[in-house]
Amino acid sequence: MTDRFKGLLVPMLTPFTAAGKPDAERAMRFGKDLLSAGANGLALFGTTSEGQSLAPQERMDLLDTLIAGGISAEKLMVGTGSCALPDAVEMTRHAAERKCGGVLMLPPFFYKAISDEGIFRFFSEVIHQVDSSDLRIYLYHIPPVAQVGFSVELVGKLVDSFPEQVVGLKNSSGDHNYSIALRERVPEFDVFCGSEDFLLETMRIGGVGCISATGNANPNEISRLYRNVDTPEAESLQQSVSAIRAVFQKRPVIPALKAIVSQAYEDPQWTKARPPLVELSNAETESLVAELESHNYRPDERLR
């Protein structure tokens, strides 16, 4: 097994062709550019990747294309979450067979008020059916969106039961106290924050990095903060990356990020999203670019 993930993982945007299919050529270029710009890995097919808008076969096909094109499988944390257990098993097995660095899994989120026991059984089934020594699961805790999360007690039970497979979590709850509680319950567990707003705090409690949407637009500066968390400039770097994130959070984040990638590559096709998401208007894009420029941000400088 390769070393576990650390640092900045970018939940990579999924580009689409004019026909609305995942665009492997654009994805390949972008993934390689993100890694060159300082990202330690790529988290595919999560929220920012429009993962729940992609069919399981689309996810698996694009994963295979990226690996065949030269992106190392060990750099990839693959989103395999699904409400359907067979789909989750199929996609997770596919990633493990390709020796990806890990999978990022949502809880089964359609049914509300499901019990910890129900979620535990779901993950137990995935682990037993995949049956691979190459499987590493990172739990995706995002209750503001999924409405279903992982309690600290459930995480502890999963780690106690499957210590070789359940190795980390992305905390996108916005609650830093949850990360603190996890570190106390399972200190060997790898905790990532889901926003660079919490990167400095997360590293100070023994976390390992962040998996942040705005890594698509600001990978070099977020990586710089990660590398300098123990230096005197850490606080100012934290303020700087948080200011850029705040600009994106005023808008629909995925279309806004795609607008900026489109600007960086001078490629209008990058603005395309899969419905129900829609692209920013020209006026909205101009406003976004102007506000970013007021923070001395230029897309072509941050992404290359």
**pLDDT tens per residue across span 153-206:** 999 999 999 999 999 999 999 999 999 999 999 999 999 999 999 999 999 999
Residue 170, domain member (yes or no): yes
Average pLDDT over residues 113-136: 97
Q: What is the pLDDT of residues 149-165, one digit of tens each?
A: 999 999 999 999 999 99
Cα 112 to the center of its chain, rounded Å: 24
**Of 212, 291, 220, nearest in space to 259 by CA:** 291
Q: 64: domain CATH number?
A: 3.20.20.70
Residue 153 lies in a domain: yes
Reported as a single tens digit per residue, the pLDDT across 242-270 is: 999 999 999 999 999 999 999 999 999 99
Scored b (16 or more CB within 10 A) or e, 143-170 reads: beebebbbeeebbbbbbeebeebbbbbb
Range of the domain at 45: 7-218
In a domain, 76, yes or no: yes
279 assigned to some structural domain = no
In a domain? residue 255: no
Which residues 6+ apart lie within 8 Å of 217 measured at CB?
Answer: 244, 248, 257, 260, 261, 299, 302, 303
Residue 299: pLDDT band (50, 70, 90) is confident
pLDDT confidence tier of residue 70, bands split at 50, 70 and 90: very high
Domain count, the chain: 1
